[in-house]
Amino acid sequence: MHSRNPFYILVAVLFIVGIGASIYRGVEHNVPFLPGKQVQSWAVEAKVSFQGTGEPAEVSFSLPQDPAYQVLVENASSPGYGLTINHNDNDRRAVWSIRQALGTQDLYYKVTLVPTGHTEISATQTPAAPEAYLWPATEQAAAEQVIADAWARSASNLSFAQQLMASITEPKRSQNVERLLASQTPTQLFLHMLHTKGIPAHKVSGLYLEDQRRRQPLSPFVEVFHDGQWILFDLIKGKQGRPQNLLLWERAGHSVLDVMGGVNSQVNFAMLQDTRSALATSIDMMMNNNALDFSLYQLPLEEQSLFKGILLIPIGVLMVVFLRVMIGIKTSGTFMPVLIALAFIQTSLLTGLIGFLLIVSCGLVIRSYLSHLNLLLISRISAVIIVVIGIIGVFTLLSYKFGLSEGLTITFFPMIILAWTIERMSILWEEEGPREVMLQGGGSLMVATLAYLAMSASWVQHWVFNFLGIHLVILALVLLMGQYTGYRLLELKRFKSLAGT
Amino acid sequence: MEFAWPWELRQNGVLNMNQRNIDYIGRYNPRKFYKRVDDKLITKQLALANDIAVPDLIAVVREQHEIAHIPERISSRSGFVVKPAKGSGGKGIIVITKVDNGRYFKPSGHEISLSELNRHVSNILSGLFSLGGKPDVAIIEGLIEFDPVFEGYSHEGVPDIRLIVFKGFPVMGMLRLSTAASDGKANLHQGAVGVGVDIASGKGLHAVQFDRQIEFHPDTGKKLTDIIVPHWESLLHTASSAYEMCEMGYLGTDMVLDQSKGPLLLELNARPGLAIQIANGKGILPRLKHVEAMSSHSMTVAERVAYVKTHFTG
């Protein structure tokens, strides 16, 4: 007897690859593990407006580049304007241009964003030390004193920034700070003081996302580099860290909006929260990232829905293998129950069961007449097939006349399979009597019902289509069960008399 | 109805369906020899070539147009059996025990018309009873005049003796007796009585019907464990030599005792059922393992029969 190790290695490989591929799908592509899961998305509209002076105008507007939000769809509408989108290292800008702009000009940029959960911003390399800020002579002494105070009370970049923020935002500020704030905003002051000490920091513009808000401005923040991460400071609220629902719109340290050839430029934002299917969202994202290289989502919708049906068959087959090998249920025709179960998916269970019983019992009656005719097997089966089609036609028409729309789904039954079922049942009836017909027919219907229940569960349908790795796991299970030499459940009953010692 | 624990059955060496398929049929029965067993016509020819007695062949019907000639072939007979060459599980077998002026009667006294008989043969040729529905041939055999020693033990049908032969060793045997419930058929799942017999002596040990132990034949009331199968030695020889004949390691041999010709080989089965264990009231695995553990033997048929008679008794 040869070693079974290669077999078990194969099974293990199938298991690991199957589960690994499924987890990769779920984690990397954000395909939800449960069906019907919803994600929040934000639709944000930025409106840039300015007064044209009749000169050529060029508007450069920064676009969101935030690891915590992924862009699903974006578009810019701006009649008459040329539009280009520039990508720099960590900066994206939309540039609108027109030869002549006169009067009020409105430019719109719309984006749909999905939270990714990556709220921490890490830097790949330590940024260069910033240039020190040159304090005006009148402020230098005050500034240096504030910096020295904070420096003395801190141990690291982070704690220095915390101390600075405290001294700028605390309600009873020192006179030095008050004097400095006369000419600078708190955010600017904070940034300049950090730069004086050579600490990497830059200004960030953020947008608070709140449902159904209009005419919202951007809020200023400062990002301070500490330990490979950028930490966000809000000098207006005096808070450190990233607030919920904050979208970082501009974090390259450039201006948000530059307008040439216009005056009174301003930008404001409107936003709307939306929920959409997590699955559709992740498919859209994969589409954006060209990650769909080899996937069923590429197929046209019609083929996709075909595959949704086909990919259920392994589940039904697994069920049949389990019920036959582990339980020991007899069925008429090995995989007939799977095909019947597939038909049940179209017809729904109760209609399917009634339809199946109606067709088979009518078929049996007609078949019993055919058996008197002394026909060759091939002709008899063919006759049964035609009769089955006739029965299905009659039932469909009848249910239509009576207004039973459920009856119309009866056409989903596989006719050849039904014909063979009728033929087998009929022989069984003649040879073994009605009891065996009930037994095997009931067994087949039970297996079909169980296969149907497994195949119609919405999470099963979700998994077999969206996590193709699961089919490798099913294959591994089927292979494993093919090696099972233990007792079937019903054998435990059958051999009960041999159990005593 | 209660369930046994798997380890209880394991402990008693009960062979199950999955293990039979994987560890015995799959391992010891080479695919290429299956037709020697599945086709009763080939089995018959092989048996004759190996000097194993079989029921006499009256006719073989291979084509639909030959059906018309059946009456002339059987005209001189008082009874005959029609069976499909590739049938399984006793399907498609019709036994005619009385022919009276063109009227045919089953053992139960039911009449079968000639057209019904013709239709049955036609069905056989179409493959209705063969594995996978393949076209088949019909065999018409002479009736077995069954040995009167079984008088009172069987209802209508012929009792047959099933022996499981593993690598040439008859390891377990049972006698199958038809009953009213089984309609004269010797299939256990149809209600025939199975009597486990001692490999050494051919004496009845234990009897079951519908998987339940019984003591007396349900129709005749005779005590079943009193049976002693005659010609036992010769039956063991026939079964054992079937191994050389078809080269299947795990084999079921079905034999009958004819009053004048003695033991006849009815058919061979490459997938013998597991009910023989219930009829014997014991698992077959210990004996199979015993034979498997024997180093490659080159025993003759007589040596093997002698071996099993000393080792597999009781």
Rounded to the nearest angstrom, the minimum Cα separation between B15 and chain A is 8
| Integer Cα distance of B10 and A495 in angstroms | 11
To the nearest 10 degrees (0 to 180), the angle between helices A313-321 and A336-347 is 130
pLDDT at site A180: 81
Task: Answer whether A376 touches B (CB < 8 Å).
Answer: yes
What DSSP string runs through A327-381?
I----SSSSHHHHHHHHHHHH-HHHHHHHHHHHHHHHHHHHHHHGGG---HHHHH
Task: Answer whether A495 touches B (CB < 8 Å).
Answer: yes
Rounded to the nearest angstrom, the minimum Cα separation between A361 and chain B is 21
Among candidates A431, A497, A500 on the partner chain, residue whose Cβ is nearest the Cβ of B211: A497
At B20 the three-state DSSP class reads helix
Residues of B in contact with A384 (CB under 8 A): none
| Integer Cα distance of B260 and B115 in angstroms | 33
Q: Of B157 and A174, which is predicted with more confidence?
A: A174
Chain mean position to CA A405: 35
What DSSP string runs through B151-198?
TTT-SSS--EEEEEEETTEEEEEEEEE--TTTTT---GGGT-EEEEE-
pLDDT at site A293: 59
Q: Of A500 and B97, which is predicted with more confidence?
A: B97
pLDDT at site B172: 93
Which residues of chain A, if any, have pLDDT below 50? 1
Rounded to the nearest angstrom, the minimum Cα separation between B104 and chain A is 18
Query: Where does CATH 3.30.470.20 sit in chain B?
Result: 6-52+147-311
State the average pLDDT for chain B: 86
| Integer Cα distance of B84 and A48 in angstroms | 90
pLDDT digits (tens, 9 = 90+) for A236-258: 888 888 888 888 888 877 888 88
In the predicted structure, residue B178 carries a pLDDT above the cut 60: yes
pLDDT at site A501: 59
| Amino acid of residue B303 | E
* C-alpha atoms less than 13 angstroms from C-alpha of A372 in its C-beta half-sphere: 5
Q: Please judge whether B126 and A377 are an interchain contact, meaning their C-beta atoms are less than 8 angstroms apart.
A: yes
Distances (CA, A) of B90 to A161, B140, B155, B266: 93, 15, 17, 11
- Which residue in chain B is spatially nearest to A496 when comparing CA positions? B4
What DSSP string runs through A231-256?
EEEETTTTEESPPTTEEEEE-SSS-S
Please choose, from the candidates A49, A62, A58, the residue with its C-alpha nearest in 3D space to the C-alpha of residue A256: A62
pLDDT at site B34: 87
β-pair type (B160-166, B138-142): unpaired
Average the pLDDT over B173-186 and give the result: 81
B contact test, residue of A371, A382, A496 with most B CBs within 10 A = A496
Give the phi and the psi of residue A345 in degrees, each rounded to 5.
-60, -35
Architecture of domain B57-142: 2-Layer Sandwich (3.30)
pLDDT at site A471: 93
Distances (CA, A) of A18 to A10, A94, A319: 12, 43, 19
Cα torsion B108, B109, B112, B114: sign: positive
| DSSP strands (E only) in chain B | 57-61, 80-84, 94-96, 98-100, 103-105, 111-112, 138-142, 160-166, 169-177, 193-197, 204-209, 212-214, 250-258, 262-269
Distances (CA, A) of B45 to A196, B125, B241, B267: 108, 20, 15, 12
Query: Where does CATH 3.30.1490 sit in chain B?
Result: 57-142
β-pair type (A239-240, A229-234): antiparallel
Among residues of chain B, what percentage have pLDDT more than 90?
Answer: 20
Task: Answer whether A334 touches B (CB < 8 Å).
Answer: no
At B203 the three-state DSSP class reads strand
Contacts of A39 (CB under 8 A, 6+ apart): A114, A115, A275, A276, A277, A278, A281
Neighbours of A49 (CB within 10 A): 17
Q: Are B169 and B71 in contact (CB under 8 A)?
A: no
For residue A311, give both structure tokens.
Answer: 């990919």
Rounded to the nearest angstrom, the minimum Cα separation between B44 and chain A is 26
| Amino acid of residue A123 | A
Between CA A161 and CA A169, with CA A163 as vertex, the angle to 5 degrees is: 100
| Amino acid of residue A397 | L
pLDDT digits (tens, 9 = 90+) for B206-256: 888 887 888 888 888 888 888 888 888 899 999 999 998 988 999 999 998
pLDDT at site A292: 60
In the predicted structure, residue B270 carries a pLDDT above the cut 60: yes
Q: How far apart are the first and last CA of chain B?
A: 29
Which residues on neighbouring strands pair with residue A274, listed in sequence order?
A: A41
pLDDT digits (tens, 9 = 90+) for A102-145: 888 888 999 888 888 777 777 777 777 788 888 888 888 888 88
Among candidates B16, B22, B118 on the partner chain, residue whose Cβ is nearest the Cβ of A488: B16
Task: Answer whether A483 touches B (CB < 8 Å).
Answer: yes
Burial class for A355, CB neighbours closer than 10 Å (0-12, 13-18, 19+): buried
Residues of A in contact with B122 (CB under 8 A): 374, 376
H or E element that contains A411: none
At B216 the three-state DSSP class reads strand
Please name each of the domains of chain A with its CATH number: 37-123+208-219+244-290 (2.60.40.2250), 305-495 (no CATH)
Q: Please judge whether A498 and B12 are an interchain contact, meaning their C-beta atoms are less than 8 angstroms apart.
A: yes
Least confident span in A451-460, B176-185, B188-197, B209-218: B176-185
Q: Which fold has domain B6-52+147-311?
A: D-amino Acid Aminotransferase; Chain A, domain 1 (3.30.470)
pLDDT at site B184: 67
Among candidates B14, B27, B64 on the partner chain, residue whose Cβ is nearest the Cβ of A495: B14
Q: Are B265 and B48 in contact (CB under 8 A)?
A: no
In the predicted structure, residue B20 carries a pLDDT above the cut 90: yes
At A408 the three-state DSSP class reads helix
For residue A233, give both structure tokens.
Answer: 């400071």
Task: Answer whether A484 touches B (CB < 8 Å).
Answer: yes
